[in-house]
Amino acid sequence: MTTEYERHIETLRERWDAALATAGYDAAVIAAGAPALHYQDDQHTVFRPNPDFLQWLPQDDCVNAFLLVQRDSRPRLFFPAARDYWHAPPEPPAWASCALHIDTFEDPEALRSALAAAVAASGRTVLCAQHDDSNLGCAAFNDSRVLHAVHYTRAVKTPFELSALREATRRAVAGHLAAREAFHSGQSEFAINLAYLAASGHTADELPYGNIVALNHHAALLHYQHLDRQPPAEHFSFLLDAGARVHGYAADVTRTWAAAGDGIRSEFRSLIEDFDKRQQRLTAAVQPGRSFTELHEAAHREVAGALIAFDLVRGDAQDIFDLGITRSFLPHGLGHLLGLQTHDIGGHLADRTGRQQPPPGVYPALRLTRVVEPGFVFTVEPGLYFIPMLLDELRASAHAHRVNWARVDAFRCCGGIRIEDNVVVTADGCDNVTRAAFAEAGDD
């Protein structure tokens, strides 16, 4: 039986063969890379393999491994496995041998000689790596014609990649449910994060990005990075943006909750419920052939609707949108491609030649501007925040009189809302992988 992994490798071979042929190469060497040393230290940074390598051999334990991709032949993995009593030696996963020719080397010099000999016998070869490694004898380094073409096609995920995404999402959801419970029992950001790690089965280093564990006004910092050891005096709200990784593929999930109680907590709960409906409406609008920039604009229209419905801003939704007032409440993009990287490469590529499609000037933070295609995986993550710096600017602007400042000020203690799901585009809409995993865990 052909495994999903074998079919995944077949697809990668087709993509790389086409990219190499167009640029006039017979082969590519893809380096996994190595971690950097901390300055004046013998300790390394956390290692993240070159994503172009990781897509072929989906495990982090691959320092200094290389893959030789030759047109029309089985990819060859050169894998170092030094004899070592300081660390457990790495091993390639046994299931990879169904699709790759694997040689392991105890001696790094023997690996390099074997690889250089294979390069010499491969014709015109391009090296794809973080650092130039000229001694391998490749004719070129990081030819952008090859890299743009493979990065452009990476937006469409294979069934193997979708299985990894679904599994990563299950783990993220288990973490979110445990974190929510820790929040409702009044714990600190630090303790909530520990609950997340235990339930999702991750060390902090394995996560796709540093968890954003934001109580109260901290949610107004989009990538809030601290973990307060002490619980706040009062809990108002909790924004958790936390993911998971399986075979290198990331889930990227955000939920926002209000603390139990009445007053502003109850009002914030209503705002979250309203915003959740709007987020689902945006997800339902995902269609192949639609530009993501258009969906992003639809998100701003939803923010305008929420601001008016909750008497935060006064006027007509169209005016509020046209005047750009929503940009003070939603300063990030609606979403981004998701895969081996949290913000997967290629979101601004107009085609496989590398032509760029930058975001409109008024939305500089928009990471995805492409026309949506079946098989794309991206996030849908609208937000509505009370960010002091942006509110100060709005207050000093000509539009200040449209804002109900007393009401905005009352919500500042809650920081803001983000609701982030991961979706797979289908032939006529999308599958919401995140909602499916919450439902599977008994939480809708």
Q: Which parts of this chain interact with ligand GLY (CB under 6 A)?
A: 209, 241, 252, 336, 342, 381, 420
Nearer to Mn ion, 52 or 344 (CB): 344
> Side chain identity at 345, as an amino acid letter?
I
Among 36-44, 80-88, 295-303, 418-426, which window interacts with Mn ion (CB under 5 A)? 418-426
Nearer to ligand GLY, 77 or 172 (CB): 172
Among 145-153, 275-283, 369-377, 415-423, which window interacts with Mn ion (CB under 5 A)? 415-423
| Bridge-based pairing state of the strands 76-80 and 66-70 | antiparallel
Nearer to Mn ion, 140 or 365 (CB): 365
Among ligand GLY, Mn ion, none, the one that 158 touches (CB under a kind-dependent 5 to 8 A) is: none
Give the residue closest to ligand GLY by C-beta.
Answer: 241
Q: Provide the minimum distance between the beta carbon of 416 and ligand GLY in the complex, in angstroms, as a whole number.
A: 13
The token duo for 54 is 């990781």
Angle at 202 between CA 430 and CA 221, to 5 degrees: 70
* Helix (H) or strand (E) segment spanning residue 93: none
Among ligand GLY, Mn ion, none, the one that 189 touches (CB under a kind-dependent 5 to 8 A) is: none
- Asked if 173 contacts 441 with a C-beta cutoff of 8 angstroms, the reply is yes
Phi, psi of 395 (to 5 degrees): -65, -30
Rounded Cα–Cα distance for residues 374 and 428 (Å)? 8
> Side chain identity at 107, as an amino acid letter?
D
Strands (E), 336-387: 377-380, 383-385
Nearer to Mn ion, 254 or 279 (CB): 254
Q: Provide the minimum distance between the beta carbon of 208 and ligand GLY in the complex, in angstroms, as a whole number.
A: 8
Q: Please give the DSSP secondary-structure letter assigned to residue 161.
A: H
Contacts within 8 Å (CB) and 24+ apart, 69-73: 69/13, 69/16, 69/20, 69/27, 69/28, 69/29, 69/30, 70/26, 70/27, 70/122, 71/17, 71/20, 71/21, 71/26, 71/27, 72/17
Q: Provide the minimum distance between the beta carbon of 297 and ligand GLY in the complex, in angstroms, as a whole number.
A: 19
Q: Please give the DSSP secondary-structure letter assigned to residue 415.
A: -
Q: Provide the minimum distance between the beta carbon of 241 and Mn ion in the complex, in angstroms, as a whole number.
A: 4
Q: Provide the minimum distance between the beta carbon of 336 and ligand GLY in the complex, in angstroms, as a whole number.
A: 6
Q: Please give the DSSP secondary-structure letter assigned to residue 221.
A: S
Q: Does 421 bind Mn ion (CB under 5 A)?
A: no
Rounded Cα–Cα distance for residues 224 and 252 (Å)? 15
Nearer to ligand GLY, 56 or 292 (CB): 292
Among Mn ion, ligand GLY, none, the one that 143 touches (CB under a kind-dependent 5 to 8 A) is: none
Q: Does 52 bind Mn ion (CB under 5 A)?
A: no
Rounded Cα–Cα distance for residues 380 and 336 (Å)? 8
Q: What phi-psi label fits residue 328: left (phi over 0), alpha (psi between -120 and 50 degrees) or beta?
A: alpha
Closest CA relative to residue 151, chosen from 432, 343, 365, 423: 343
Nearer to ligand GLY, 160 or 224 (CB): 224
Q: Does 241 bind Mn ion (CB under 5 A)?
A: yes
Q: Provide the minimum distance between the beta carbon of 211 and ligand GLY in the complex, in angstroms, as a whole number.
A: 9
Rounded Cα–Cα distance for residues 331 and 309 (Å)? 20
Over the window 335 to 374, marking each residue x when it contacts Mn ion by CB under 5 A and - when it does not, the resulting string is: ----------------------------------------
Among positions 125, 211, 326, 379, the unique one binding Mn ion when judged by CB under 5 A: 379
Nearer to Mn ion, 369 or 379 (CB): 379
Q: Please give the DSSP secondary-structure letter assigned to residue 4.
A: H
Among 59-67, 264-272, 358-366, 420-428, which window interacts with Mn ion (CB under 5 A)? 420-428
Q: Provide the minimum distance between the beta carbon of 142 and Mn ion in the complex, in angstroms, as a whole number.
A: 27
- Asked if 60 contacts 87 with a C-beta cutoff of 8 angstroms, the reply is no
Residues in contact with Mn ion, total (CB under 5 A)?
5
Among ligand GLY, Mn ion, none, the one that 293 touches (CB under a kind-dependent 5 to 8 A) is: none
Identify the residue whose tokens are 């973080």.
130
Three-state DSSP state, 141: strand
Identify the residue whose tokens are 């074997």.
114
Nearer to ligand GLY, 49 or 382 (CB): 382
Nearer to ligand GLY, 50 or 254 (CB): 254
Nearer to ligand GLY, 141 or 209 (CB): 209
Among positions 60, 189, 252, 421, the unique one binding Mn ion when judged by CB under 5 A: 252
Nearer to Mn ion, 141 or 209 (CB): 209
Residue count of the chain, please give it. 444
Among Mn ion, ligand GLY, none, the one that 209 touches (CB under a kind-dependent 5 to 8 A) is: ligand GLY
**Interacting residues toward Mn ion by CB under 5 A:** 241, 252, 254, 379, 420
